[in-house]
Structure 1
């Protein structure tokens, strides 16, 4: 379906208790920021000897289990909230923290992995429930190494949480041929795929993600991490940490995070299975307590039999299940995600020999100017028998470039909406090709809202994302 130079597109970061109080700093609607140096600290010191912190410093935990930082957070009403802790961990080992709210465990042994240096800062996000009024949020070291250096706590509550896709729908599961929410109701998720993050990470930043969540009304961010082509295999630590960060950013905005193992060349996913085991073990282990993670274990298998893909999937799904028993897993179909059509096969290969697992979906890709009646017919047949998610599509040719066929694209999207089949569009970047939604040079700036920064394909897909699914709860 796609090739390395085509749809997925080659392109050119016990001492005494010490108490202090300070007013919370508002940073956005329903978000409050609390600096760690102004919290209550037990067995730790306020320091400022590593660059990159915010406020007046950061807390260096003592190397002792039980050392903690406790914040006082005021909530206008009782209800769900998202905590985001900014930290640095220059050691080589995880320094987990147990999070309690008013003395009740909210997240036990939440991992705070190494960031590479004490001046390299990252974030860790977790959902909690707050009471109306004052809340004591304590982050306690669970090992003798103590905690990471803690810079601040951001707390998102109330209006910023209401109606957000991942907050409404919660933990997803596959029910029959549909993707269902926590209430067992079929839903359709719609969103965008990043370009390869080895090339276009500058397009995935707070301003662009704010626009995607709030201006576009997206439900899901597909994080496209290539394995080859300058991607994961060149620096597994760097790319794994990039994905961790993007998951946290999606979580902060109430989006689902679709983690895309973007294998493309070689087309047989078994060639990368050892790398995939390592990557997905860490991703699933760290994010298993989140309810907004989806795992896509093979982007576009090609020049490989369906039996080979099935074998790979049946080895990889248990790797994820061992860490995250509830997470939904996606599996790419043969022929570059075409249900076999681009390999001269068909969906019957899958129907006759389905993957032996539950809570997973098969993926389909299309580029509307290239993939028309034969591909559409295969999707129509398969959707009646198989759980399908469209993890990649474009309105142009399979190269991700050329003229847009909006009429045939609309035919696909009408079918997907009628059948509650989710989709992510390729791609959320300012690449020169017509399939990149932003005009060239946009990602160097900070304005991503409205249509003025968009190419025609971007205007078209944004418009179709802004009318949300109804997300039934009863």
Structure 2
């Protein structure tokens, strides 16, 4: 059974020593449900050597949880994913994927119902982390995120008192300094930083280093090597600089995303429908680079 994780001294740990989670995020499971299955998760674990999967539940987009989506089907998909991951010895991030809604308070009632149900279902699971708001932006200020977090965290903690909770930060989860200046008053909380290497460069890395060195628990729970739009070319130099910081600071990181969408960020080639045993031709270049980097991470962790 996987150890329940704890945040100690600004680091994610197993209660004794630091732990680094790394793996893939699904795209929205309303549109790509096929990737939430044992075949995919086993391939990510056995072939790519990853130890974590992020399951993205979009909120306001078409067929999202709060915009005409099948709520019960999405919750059942999440539960199935958590069970598969537990069987394989993997952790899962349950992601309430705020994006177009900007301010997480917009659907706070729906979020409260979702996290109340999810945390009750997973009360005895040691492999679940909760991401309560993916990318607040626009009107999603730190004040509004704080208000939302102060409502949502007690809902989760009622059922899962020791769960690690990841909180998004303003400006599409880039302004982590807001959390450093005014952190939430809860234990076992981490703060999101997202980067897309061709857009987010040294200024964001400097911010990350300053916050991490000051003891802020940071989780890079979404990244890719292209532009923030998910499109465009890979920036190799900036990607290498980001990986250097991740390794030097021992940070957890999750790549966006499991899909064969035409955008650069979808790691599978558009004509790839395979759910395992992916060869180089089945992957976009971003997928090949990230796969190899995750395998390097796994080897490093094994040799510690």
Any conservation in 2 of the 1:267–1:302 contact (CA below 8 Å)?
yes
Q: Which has the higher contact order (CA 8 A, sep 6+)?
A: 2
- Kindly report which structure 2 residues correspond to 1:358-397, keeping only aligned pairs within 5 A, or say none: 358-385=187-214, 386-397=216-227
Higher radius of gyration, 1 or 2: 1
1:417 aligns with 2:247: yes
Match status 1:232 vs 2:62: no
**Cα offset, 1:228, TM superposition:** 1.6
Where do 5+ consecutive residues of structure 2 fail to align? none
Distance 1:438 1:308, change over 3 A: same
| Deviation digits for residues 372-405 of structure 1 (CA, Å, limit 9, x no counterpart) | 1211111111111210000100100001111001
SS at match of 2:30: helix
The aligned residue for residue 97 of structure 2 is: 262
Richer in strand (by share): 1
Determine the structure 2 residue equivalent to 1:210. Answer: 42
What RMSD over aligned residues (CA atoms) do the two structures have, in Å? 1.6
Q: Does 2:6 correspond to 1:173?
A: yes
Q: Is the 8 A contact 1:208 1:448 kept in 2?
A: no
For the residue of structure 1 that corresponds to 2:258, the secondary structure is coil
Length, aligned pairs only: 297
Report the CA distance between 1:200 and its aligned residue.
1.2
Aligned residues of 1:221 and 1:255 also touching (Cα < 8 A): yes
Answer whether contact 1:277 1:316 (CA < 8 A) is retained.
yes
1:275 match? 110
In structure 2, the partner of 1:428 is 258
2:301 maps to 470
2:238 alignment counterpart: 408
- Cα offset, 1:207, TM superposition: 2.2
C-alpha separation in 1, matches of 2:146 and 2:190 = 12
Structure 1: 5+ residue stretches without partners = 1-126, 128-166, 341-346
- Counterparts of 1:56-95 in structure 2, within 5 Å, are none
Equivalence for 2:150: 314
Aligned counterpart, 1:294: 129
Deviations 1:154-185 (A, max 9, x none): xxxxxxxxxxxxx3xx1100001100014x21
**Superposition map of 1:97-246 within 5 A:** 167=2, 170-182=3-15, 184-229=16-61, 230-233=63-66, 234=68, 235-246=70-81
1:278-319 CA distances to partner (integer Å, 9 max, x unpaired)? 111111111111111000000000112211111111111111
CA contact (8 A) 1:330 1:361 kept: yes
Q: TM-score, normalised by structure 2?
A: 0.93
Q: Contact 2:179/2:191 (CA < 8 Å) preserved in 1?
A: no
